[in-house]
């Protein structure tokens, strides 16, 4: 007998505090913070130090609203999938804490305000890039790729890399080869990070018929791809020193972090269980955070 999934439950009656918490949850604050952190890092590198607060603060605000708004719209579109998966069934829309249409309006408002803030207080290129990032995530990844091809993460990863371009353009008003290296680092980081998570929740993705790598190609192929993309990532992470953008602090940090990432990737090939996938997922998250922290320290100290 087929099971009926409620994709639009009756909204719950929440108090003001609970409702505010649910709307904040929609924006995926932890992901937004990581994206804003990469944006600020790019700004510090581009400015060769701490950029003026008159540019830094509106860029942080606009970037956070763009990332948060795209996340909200993503959850509006994916509310049927979220209702089917254990990991996401308690999100605000499928759980009935926020009505789907209210979430959509909230997400569109955040993206709109992001475009206005960045255009008025930073520059138009930065505003356009933030909008492109939101559109990339919502349309290219969520609508076109996620449900239809195993290449969803490979191509869709560009959305998470655009915030560094936002940060760079906020300071310089343009983009160059150095900014594209930062873009490439996040672009190549996304597959091993996302596939490690996919290994953990493979059953969920299979139930929802989402062709993530473990579902479409199997777990063995996924582990190999994680290793191969980690190798590429480590090589690309050394390019900022090769081109003189960053110096010794970053080079040493990138080498150590890269070594740890490759070790965990190789270990994942041997230990084919959930614990190894969870360690790889956590390590990949720490890798990006500490790598970009090393970039900041390299620019501020040296």
C-alpha distances out from residue 9 to 5, 254, 266, Å: 10, 47, 44
49 torsion bin: left (phi>0), alpha (psi -120 to 50), beta (else)? left
- Report the candidate in 242, 260, 262 with the shortest Cα–Cα distance to residue 251: 242
The DSSP 8-state label assigned to residue 51 in this structure reads: P
Rounded Cα distance, 142 and 214, in Å:
18
pTM, two decimals, is: 0.92
What is the predicted pLDDT for the residue at 10?
60
- CATH topology for 23-149+158-173? Tetracycline Repressor; domain 2 (1.10.357)
Q: 230, 261 in Cβ contact below 8 A?
A: yes
Q: What distance, in Å, lies between the first and last C-alpha atoms of the chain?
A: 66
Q: What is the pLDDT along the chain (302 residues), one digit of tens a residue?
A: 333 444 455 666 777 889 999 999 999 999 999 999 999 999 999 999 999 999 999 999 999 999 999 999 999 999 999 999 888 899 999 999 999 999 999 999 999 999 999 999 999 999 999 999 999 999 999 999 999 999 999 888 899 999 999 999 999 999 999 999 999 999 999 999 999 999 998 888 888 889 999 999 999 999 999 999 999 999 999 999 999 999 999 999 999 999 999 999 999 999 988 899 999 999 999 999 999 999 999 999 86
Q: What is the pLDDT of residues 204-220, one digit of tens each?
A: 888 888 999 999 999 99
- Sequence-distant (6+) residues with CB within 8 A of 57 are none
The token duo for 225 is 């791809």
Q: How far apart are CA 284 and CA 279, in angstroms?
A: 9
H helix or E strand, kind and range, residue 222: helix 219-237
- Per-residue pLDDT tens digits for 90-143: 999 999 999 999 999 999 999 999 999 999 999 999 999 999 999 999 999 999
Q: DSSP string covering 87-116, please?
A: TTTTSTTTTTSS-HHHHHHHHHHHHHHHHH
Rounded CA-CA distance 36/29 in Å is 10
């Amino acid at each position: 007998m087929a099971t009926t999934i409620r994709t639009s439950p009756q909204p719950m009656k929440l108090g003001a505090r609970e409702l505010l918490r649910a709307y904040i949850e929609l924006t995926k604050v932890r992901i937004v913070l990581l994206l804003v952190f990469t944006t600020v890092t790019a700004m510090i590198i581009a400015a060769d130090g701490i950029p003026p607060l008159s540019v830094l603060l509106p860029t942080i605000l606009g970037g956070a609203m763009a990332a948060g708004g795209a996340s909200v719209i993503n959850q509006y579109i994916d509310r049927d999938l979220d209702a089917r998966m254990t990991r996401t069934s308690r999100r605000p829309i499928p759980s009935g804490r926020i009505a789907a249409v209210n979430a959509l309006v909230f997400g569109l408002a955040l993206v709109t305000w992001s475009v206005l803030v960045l255009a008025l207080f930073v520059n138009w290129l930065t505003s356009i890039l933030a909008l492109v990032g939101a559109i990339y995530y919502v349309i290219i990844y969520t609508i076109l790729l996620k449900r239809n091809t195993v290449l969803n993460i490979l191509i869709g990863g560009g959305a998470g890399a655009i915030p560094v371009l936002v940060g760079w353009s906020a300071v310089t008003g343009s983009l160059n080869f150095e900014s594209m290296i930062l873009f490439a680092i996040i672009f190549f980081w996304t597959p091993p990070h996302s596939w490690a998570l996919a290994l953990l929740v493979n059953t969920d993705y299979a139930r929802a018929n989402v062709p993530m790598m473990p579902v479409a190609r199997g777990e063995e192929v996924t582990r190999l791809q994680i290793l191969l993309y980690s190798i590429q990532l480590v090589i690309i992470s050394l390019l900022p020193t090769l081109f003189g953008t960053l110096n010794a602090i970053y080079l040493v940090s990138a080498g150590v972090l890269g070594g740890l990432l490759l070790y965990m990737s190789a270990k994942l090939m041997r230990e084919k269980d959930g614990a190894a996938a969870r360690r790889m997922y956590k390590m990949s998250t720490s890798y990006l955070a500490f790598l970009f922290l090393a970039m900041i320290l390299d620019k501020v100290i040296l």
